[in-house]
């Protein structure tokens, strides 16, 4: 809707992850560098954590896009509170290995044969699990055991765990001490500060053909940062509502009054963090 009004090639602030528009802020660059470092080493676990909406899934997409021309054979799963054997079965199926009705012993045998074949072909398997905080301790322990599969003292499988902050607490628990010792890199995606929030907004706009329409008053950025708390997904939500408001009101310059109206409407719909609801609703008064 508003993208046509302002002449954009596409929507700049969709809520769904889009690695094409990823903004490489400092903690994002660090996380990606840690992942690439671990890939270079070819062993162990990498753990990436962050609050919901901080760009973890976008980071995975960005990393995977860079693997298309490499020798890495990856499987990308989204955890759905799986127990150990169900997770193993899903890993086997996602790598394209037949075994829908096999027992656990046969699943492990088939997976081991597949990993050895990749090793002989000079290819490296990588397992990426998103929303890994939902895995049970037994499932995470099963993953650790998979990294014991080796050929000529070389691990046959590398695993990246990506999830919300609870994942770190789970991995640091006593029952997963051995998995913790296998982690070669761990990093956290932080929310954006106010200056970086402004850079993020302009970055997204520049990638969809923004030519200065609408004109954005500098006064809008402190509001965007405060009510999004620097979370990219919430920044997208606020900016999308601001541009929708601009289209409805046929405005080609958006300032403080407009951002206050947009934030108030989101607060009324209870789409902002709860602690801001009453304050944000009062903006339009």
Distance of alpha carbon 218 from alpha carbon 254, whole angstroms = 9
- pLDDT at residue 70, rounded to an integer: 78
Q: In the block, which residue shows the tokens 């086997």?
A: 92
Domains of the chain, CATH where assigned: 26-189 (3.40.50.300), 192-284 (1.10.8)
Distance of alpha carbon 278 from alpha carbon 255, whole angstroms = 22
- pLDDT at residue 66, rounded to an integer: 84
- pLDDT at residue 81, rounded to an integer: 81
Residue 178 Cα distances to 74, 174, 247, angstroms: 24, 9, 55
Q: Pick out the chain residues at pLDDT < 70.
A: 69, 277-278, 280-285
Residue 102 Cα distances to 89, 105, 106, 157, 175, angstroms: 9, 8, 6, 21, 28
- pLDDT at residue 170, rounded to an integer: 93
CA proximity to 2, closest of 203, 214, 263, 220: 214
- pLDDT at residue 285, rounded to an integer: 52
Q: What is the pLDDT of residues 5-49, one digit of tens each?
A: 999 999 999 999 999 999 999 999 999 999 999 888 888 899 999
Residue 258 Cα distances to 187, 227, 231, angstroms: 37, 14, 21
DSSP string, 186-229: EEEEPPP-HHHHHHHHHHHHHTTT--S-SEE-TTHHHHHHHHHT
């Amino acid at each position: 809707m508003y993208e046509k009004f302002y002449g954009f090639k596409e929507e700049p602030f969709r809520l769904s992850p889009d690695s094409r528009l990823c903004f490489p802020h400092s903690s994002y660059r660090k996380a990606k560098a840690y992942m690439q470092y671990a890939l270079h080493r070819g062993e162990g676990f990498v753990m990436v954590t962050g609050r919901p909406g901080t760009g973890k899934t976008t980071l995975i997409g960005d990393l995977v896009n860079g693997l298309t021309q490499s020798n890495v054979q990856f499987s990308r799963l989204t955890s759905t509170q799986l127990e150990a054997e169900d997770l193993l079965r899903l890993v086997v199926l996602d790598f394209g290995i037949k075994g829908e009705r096999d027992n656990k012993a046969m699943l492990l045998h088939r997976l081991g044969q597949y990993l050895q074949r990749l090793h002989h072909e000079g290819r490296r398997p990588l397992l990426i699990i998103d929303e890994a905080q939902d895995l049970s301790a037994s499932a995470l322990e099963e993953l650790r055991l998979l990294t014991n599969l080796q050929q000529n003292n070389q691990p046959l499988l590398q695993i990246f765990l990506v999830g919300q902050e609870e994942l770190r607490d789970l991995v640091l628990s006593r029952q997963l001490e051995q998995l913790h010792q296998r982690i070669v890199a761990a990093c956290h995606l932080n929310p954006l500060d106010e200056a970086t929030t402004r850079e993020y907004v302009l970055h997204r706009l520049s990638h969809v053909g923004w030519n200065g329409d609408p004109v954005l008053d500098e006064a809008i950025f402190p509001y965007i940062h405060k009510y999004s708390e620097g979370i990219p997904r919430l920044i997208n939500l606020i900016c999308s509502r601001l541009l929708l408001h601009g289209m409805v009101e046929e405005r080609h310059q958006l300032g403080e009054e407009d951002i206050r109206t947009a934030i108030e409407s989101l607060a009324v719909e209870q789409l902002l963090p709860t602690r801001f609801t009453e304050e944000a609703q009062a903006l339009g008064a």
